[in-house]
Amino acid sequence: MKLKFDYIVVGAGSSGCILAARLTEDATTRVLLVEAGGSDRTLFITMPGGLPFVYQNKRIGWGYQSGPEPHLHGKVIDEKAGKVIGGSSSINAMIFNRGNPMDYDGWAADGLKDWDYAHCLPYFRRMETFEDGPDAFRGGDGPLRISRAKAEHKLYDAFLRGGEQAGFDVTPDHNGHRQEGLHIAQSFIHDGVRWSASRAYLRPALHRPNLTVLPKALVTRVLVENGTAVGIELAGPDGPRRVTCEREVILCAGAVNTPKLLMLSGIGPADDLREVGVDVAVNIPGVGRNLQNHPGVDLQYGTRHEDSLTAELGMLGRARLGAEWLLLRKGLGTTNFFETGAFLRTRDDADFPNMQYEFLPLTRQLRNGRLVPVPGFQFWMDLSRPKSRGYVKLCSKNPADAPLTVFNHYESPTDLKDMIDGVRLVRERLLRQPAWRKFAPVELNPGPEATSDRDIEAFVRRATGTSYHPSGTCRMGIDADAVVDGEGRVNAVPGLRIADASIMPRVITGNLNAPVMMMAEKIADRIRGRLPLAPSDALPYRATR
Rounded Cα–Cα distance for residues 202 and 31 (Å)? 12
Q: What integer is the mean pLDDT of 126-137? A: 98
Composition of the chain by helix, strand, coil, percent to 5: 30, 25, 45
- Render pLDDT for 424-446 as a digit per residue (tens, 0 to 9): 999 999 999 999 999 999 999 99
Is the Cβ–Cβ distance between 251 and 488 less than 8 Å?
Answer: no
Tell me the β-bridge partners of 250: 9, 497
- Mean pLDDT, all residues of the chain: 96
Q: Which of 45, 4, 47 is nearest to 28 (CA)?
A: 4
Residue 297's SS3 state is: strand
Q: What integer is the mean pLDDT of 482-502? A: 97
Q: Indicate the DSSP class of residue 115.
A: G
Residue, of 368 and 318, whose pLDDT is higher: 318
Q: What integer is the mean pLDDT of 137-143? A: 98
Q: Would you place residue 148 in the very low, low, confident or very high pLDDT band (cuts 50, 70, 90)?
A: very high
Q: What integer is the mean pLDDT of 256-264? A: 98
- pLDDT of 1 reads 65
Q: Would you place residue 238 in the very low, low, confident or very high pLDDT band (cuts 50, 70, 90)?
A: confident
- pLDDT of 135 reads 98
The answer to whether residue 61 scores a pLDDT higher than 80 is: yes
The answer to whether residue 316 scores a pLDDT higher than 90 is: no
- pLDDT of 50 reads 92
- pLDDT of 432 reads 97
Rounded Cα–Cα distance for residues 240 and 218 (Å)? 10
Please state whether 133 falls in left (phi above 0), alpha (psi between -120 and 50) or beta: left
Q: Indicate the DSSP class of residue 390.
A: B
Q: Candidates 3.30.410.40, 1.10.357.10, 3.40.50.1980, 3.40.50.720; correct CATH number of 150-185+295-384+412-463?
A: 3.30.410.40
Rounded Cα–Cα distance for residues 235 and 393 (Å)? 21
The answer to whether residue 33 scores a pLDDT higher than 90 is: yes
C-alpha dihedral, 40 to 43 to 48 to 53, nearest 10°: -90
* CATH superfamily of domain region 1-55+81-130+193-294+470-545: FAD/NAD(P)-binding domain (3.50.50.60)
Task: State how beta strands 75-79 and 64-69 pair.
Answer: antiparallel
- pLDDT of 545 reads 60
- pLDDT of 387 reads 97
**Which DSSP string do the residues of 178-199 spell out, in sequence order?**
--SEEEE-EESEETTEE--HII
What count of other Cβ atoms lies within 10 Å of the Cβ of residue 441?
18
- Render pLDDT for 208-221 as a digit per residue (tens, 0 to 9): 999 999 999 999 99
Burial 255-265 (b: 16+ CB within 10 A, else e): bbbbbbbbbbb
- Render pLDDT for 83-94 as a digit per residue (tens, 0 to 9): 999 999 999 999
Is the Cβ–Cβ distance between 324 and 499 less than 8 Å?
Answer: no
- pLDDT of 373 reads 83
Domain residue extents for the chain: 1-55+81-130+193-294+470-545, 150-185+295-384+412-463
Check if 153 is active-site: no
Q: Would you place residue 542 in the very low, low, confident or very high pLDDT band (cuts 50, 70, 90)?
A: confident
